[in-house]
Structure 1
């Protein structure tokens, strides 16, 4: 639902490429006709592409804008040694409620039209947020799709709960723990309002970034802005006769500023387009280690053992003004209260991160043991056998009856070459810090491990998060108000499909469309 002006720009590019578009002043009918054509072309390309992969995954999320409900569906897959994440369809829900059965019925219809039962048999993963509608054990979307796949005789489906969503919940609990301590959220909101309310304040220090409960990048920016302008803000409060935050509140703001910056970095590393489950687990592990190294008394053992002494030291040294506030503005009782409160919040956060488990169903090895180092590090071939057996039917259906034996031989060759060829070993070892696609390209430079690469990257393509789906809905930010007449229900789909048109067509043609799709 974006303005015609916006969608016209998109179709200007599309029409120029096709050499047959003269939009002029388009009506909703004209816009709809173009978008239907574009969707048909892109879905044809996706049908060709998905017919050439052994497995694919679904990423899904629902959203409502105004009175219009959408269920956005993306597909993730491996093709020609690369992982792709593409928009399938933003399915309009019409008058239907946002229930799992309605979601499942519409997705199954789309998949059946796109590639009948053969396409559904290729599904190897589902990723969504943690809502009961999506992941409920009894009638959740993932369960319904899994049952439909099982009815066709194909099991072994991985179901993932978005890692970023789980991190978001853990951070929310961490921030909420500071509410009783210093009423953190409420006062933070009041300070943001203060910097925006008065012209004299804005001209002096600028405007504080807005804060959203689920956008931890924004809270990091807020903490940084307020900390950097502490003296000016306190003076402006006095000038305006507005009650300023307490010294205790400022100390907590200074103390968590560095912490939420690390959290922001973790979110960013978990949300690039082709991030794998292994990447997300490594990002979470790095975040936990940072908190442990900074605050724990000992790193051994499963339970967090946060040191009050280390927390007190952090509070007193977090910012330029922390020491003076800590030692001169609050008494010893308040010091202990802040130390214990922040210590409990940090303990809960470390515990929460350690408990994050992205895979709701499916063996964790299926989506973490996907690099050549992982395969080489397996104690014996039994571990790899357990990894490939659940997917053997899908692989054989795509590549022929001998493919499992072929992959098995390539694994043996990989392990033996690594052991006896020092040059190859150096290549493998040096590639460890690269992303998984680049890693396999370096190792398979001669094409000796093509089927193994396809299998490994196919598993790696099972997405650990839904950030790309949520990114699709960001297109709704361009919506005009409801009373404006130039709205189109086609515009969201038009923008999303137009964005990937020039990527899908060459990709479909590269894998041998019977008659090339003309750009």
Structure 2
């Protein structure tokens, strides 16, 4: 076949009258896939990803059984393959000029990657995420979303572990950050132990709480083993962590807080500066509530509380009739209030049913009196514990909540503080150290305040039992208050409460502090620490800005009124946002002090997420993938901070 060549004029006129590309459908169907390249430091990939998440815990079981040995070998081979596949996601990139190297991870389809991480971050499984993205592709006719499956989602999540850790490392390394703190605890779920670590840091004036990592633990859970694991992780994440660490928060378990070889003790010795040790106050309050409850009739009252709940939870006919089930006994003693509230709310139905079906299980009248009398105290404690579980809570605010609780209980039971001299009036019940006492008449009035059922139950007792009940309630109240008075977050090297109060970090505290006192009692304590990362000029500006803040508070009515509205629930960021510009250095310094985590509530929240994600249907999920799920949940926050 012969083809005729068009002339130049004919070629030019060939396209005349044709629609422009901007007016065609192809202009709006972007089939290209923008990619994202992430650069990650080699220590994160090799030490954290390649080692801590894939350590071999099945070298030798000591079992001569061939089947068992074969199963172990199969499991080890599977883990080795998982590690190889995970490491393939990261490509080594050498800088020829410097001789150093990093790793890169490329997400070839940005839109699909971002959407997948959004879905996983709200709790969707990998398969659900893949299906949801495919449905979105079909409904929106978006070709960019094609090709998604659960394997790609899992790979993306694993990459996000390294990416998230790299972003956190950048945040901690930022010049605005002179201090950061840690909070950690261990937990076992479905036969696998994890150590969860969180951090709080003041990044460019913004105080932020972050999940750091949930590391699988393959060795015995000794303080030394956990310490070596954490040091290895921190060295890989941010080698200069010893110079910036300012606080470590934990529960009161001996492995964590032991004065000689506890994890916190070992971490504190490793740090370059004085590290504030925090024993989570909700855990301390839990111990106080347990001790106080077990003092009532030598523990018989609380034993009946839980025995009765076990009986009621097994009564299906009662549950069907009431359409509600008695709360389960929880590990936290503060949850005792939920059970007592149930008993009070459904008292008539419970008594009627138990009397008809099993009278031996029915609690006595004196038990009901105690239950009604003690329940308000437990309710007040529960309210405070909810307040103490705020992840944005500061140490000073935490102390205010506890003192407020003590004040409420003191009023509730009409507790009097005395000097202990000649305190033997028969009209009072005194605490063992003679520092507190309660009038018997006040306890009787308290019982009567709980309603007619409590009054009738009390009046039905003989005089001996009445006296015993009043005494038990009084001792309970004073034991509880004395225990709460001893609750203190900051601990010394012997894990005993520190005498000094938490450093002032809120504007409402600083405006009422004389500049000279601030310099002497606050800045001087941390001057060596802060000057490692802030210039001497900027440290001097901290002093000057504090003087200006005090002056502004006195002279500016608007600022004065705004600061006066702050309460013990005002967050650090909200408190400082009311100020005009010009206080960046003071805010950064205060933020470093405020970075000390007041409790381990956020760690326990992580464990709740872990147990939710690692359910019976996902028991074989890779540890790296599980950590990736945590990172998806805070990805938007990290991106917003760094951009």
Establish whether TM, by shorter chain, passes 0.5: yes
Aligned length: 492
* Aligned counterpart in structure 2 of residue 107 of structure 1, from 230, 240, 253: 230
String of CA shifts for 1:220-239, please: whole Å, max 9, x gaps: 22211111111211111122
Computing the radius of gyration from Cα coordinates, the structure with the larger value is 2
1:97-496 mapped onto 2 (5 Å cutoff): 97-116=220-239, 118-149=240-271, 154-178=272-296, 180=298, 183-205=300-322, 206-214=324-332, 216=334, 218-243=335-360, 244-299=362-417, 303-328=435-460, 330-361=461-492, 367-432=502-567, 434-442=570-578, 444=579, 446-478=580-612, 479-481=614-616, 486-496=620-630
Residue 60 of structure 1 pairs with residue 184 of structure 2: yes
* Aligned counterpart in structure 2 of residue 24 of structure 1, from 136, 146, 149: 149
Q: Which has the higher contact order (CA 8 A, sep 6+)?
A: 1
Deviation at 1:346, TM superposition (A): 1.2
Deviation at 1:405, TM superposition (A): 0.4
- In 2: Cα distance, 1:171 partner to 1:276 partner: 23
* Secondary structure at the counterpart of residue 511 of structure 2: helix
Structure 2: 5+ residue stretches without partners: 1-52, 54-119, 138-143, 421-434
- In 1: Cα distance, 2:365 partner to 2:388 partner: 35
* Aligned counterpart in structure 2 of residue 41 of structure 1, from 141, 163, 170: 163
* Secondary structure at the counterpart of residue 61 of structure 1: strand
* Secondary structure at the counterpart of residue 159 of structure 1: strand
* TM-score after normalising by structure 1: 0.87
* Secondary structure at the counterpart of residue 298 of structure 1: strand
- Contact 2:250 2:278 (8 Å CA) reproduced: yes
Bigger drift between 292-301 and 134-143 goes to: 292-301
In proportion to residue count, which structure has more helix?
A: 1
- In 2: Cα distance, 1:383 partner to 1:65 partner: 47
- Contact 2:506 2:572 (8 Å CA) reproduced: yes
- Give the direction of change, closer, same or farther, for the CA distance of 1:448–1:12 in structure 2 (3 Å limit): farther
- Give the direction of change, closer, same or farther, for the CA distance of 1:41–1:400 in structure 2 (3 Å limit): same
Deviation at 1:11, TM superposition (A): 7.7
Deviation at 1:380, TM superposition (A): 4.9
Deviation at 1:305, TM superposition (A): 2.2
Match of 1:516 in 2: none
- Give the direction of change, closer, same or farther, for the CA distance of 1:57–1:5 in structure 2 (3 Å limit): closer
Deviation at 1:148, TM superposition (A): 1.6
- Give the direction of change, closer, same or farther, for the CA distance of 1:430–1:144 in structure 2 (3 Å limit): same
Deviation at 1:198, TM superposition (A): 2.6
- Contact 2:130 2:149 (8 Å CA) reproduced: no
Match of 1:513 in 2: none
- Give the direction of change, closer, same or farther, for the CA distance of 1:400–1:379 in structure 2 (3 Å limit): closer
Structure 1: 5+ residue stretches without partners: 510-519
- Give the direction of change, closer, same or farther, for the CA distance of 1:506–1:379 in structure 2 (3 Å limit): closer
CA RMSD of aligned residues (A): 2.9
* Aligned counterpart in structure 2 of residue 84 of structure 1, from 208, 219, 224: 208
- In 2: Cα distance, 1:425 partner to 1:9 partner: 52
Deviation at 1:345, TM superposition (A): 1.3
* TM-score after normalising by structure 2: 0.71
Deviation at 1:366, TM superposition (A): 7.3
- Give the direction of change, closer, same or farther, for the CA distance of 1:25–1:387 in structure 2 (3 Å limit): closer
